[in-house]
Amino acid sequence: MEPDPWLFETKAIKKGFSNIAGIDEAGRGPLAGPVVSAAVILPFSFSVSDIKDSKKLTPKKRTYLYEKIYEYAVSIGIGIVDPIEIDRINILRASLLSMAISVENLKPQPDCLLIDGTFKISSDLPQVVIVKGDALSISISAASIVAKVTRDRLMERYHHDYPQFGFSRHKGYPTKVHKEAIRKFGCCPIHRRSFKGVG
């Protein structure tokens, strides 16, 4: 039997919460580009199927669901932390910061947060951290899709500025092609210089 994708949202409702946001990030592992987080509040009437962890979806399906989420969501917030800040404070802290920014950008503000992973963020709001939350909570799954598509589009834009690195293909992740481009051309301004294989 499939697990209930609304399980954590339903638990929050039973505790008296009504605006429940799912939060996830994309881009912790790449050697280049920002880390991007999304916070999504879905209406309880949301009935679009196939909302799941963005990593389990094809790019075409992700884009379709991204558009559906934007069509029906109560609110969506985006948080972006650039490579300079990632190098300054480290990727974990940058990821948590991007999540906090995404929550701040929600209007209306949520009254409960469901966060993918094991770490809480800097916020006074009630928070539930869920390991593998992007596979267990529909709100976090929606956030993972929005974060992934948003970041991929940013990397495709960066590809036009730095075509020699092939960002449109690998989105900054440490592929063989990307590592060879770094060896050949050195770093560009969006590379994370604190990451192994870059600096």
Distance, CA of 101 to CA of 98 (rounded, Å): 5
Residues 6+ apart with CB under 8 A from 105: 39, 77, 78, 79
DSSP structure class, residue 32: B
Is the pLDDT reported for residue 14 higher than 80? yes
Hey, what's the torsion of the CAs at 52, 58, 63, 68, to 10 degrees?
-30
**pLDDT value of residue 52:** 85
Beta strands in the chain (DSSP E): 20-26, 35-41, 75-81, 112-116, 127-130
Domains in the chain with CATH codes: 7-185 (3.30.420.10)
pLDDT tens sequence across 37-51: 999 999 999 999 889
- Specify the pLDDT at position 31: 98
Number of helices and strands in the chain (H, E) = 8, 5
Look at residue 85 and tell me whether its pLDDT is greater than 90: yes
Give Dmax over CA atoms of the chain in angstroms.
57
Considering the chain, what is the average pLDDT of its residues?
96
Tokens at residue 41, please?
A: 């509040």
Cα separation values, 190 from 17, 21, 35, 184, Å: 40, 30, 11, 16
The whole-number pLDDT of residue 1 equals: 66
Average pLDDT over residues 60-77: 98
CA angle 21, 67, 170 (to 5 degrees): 95
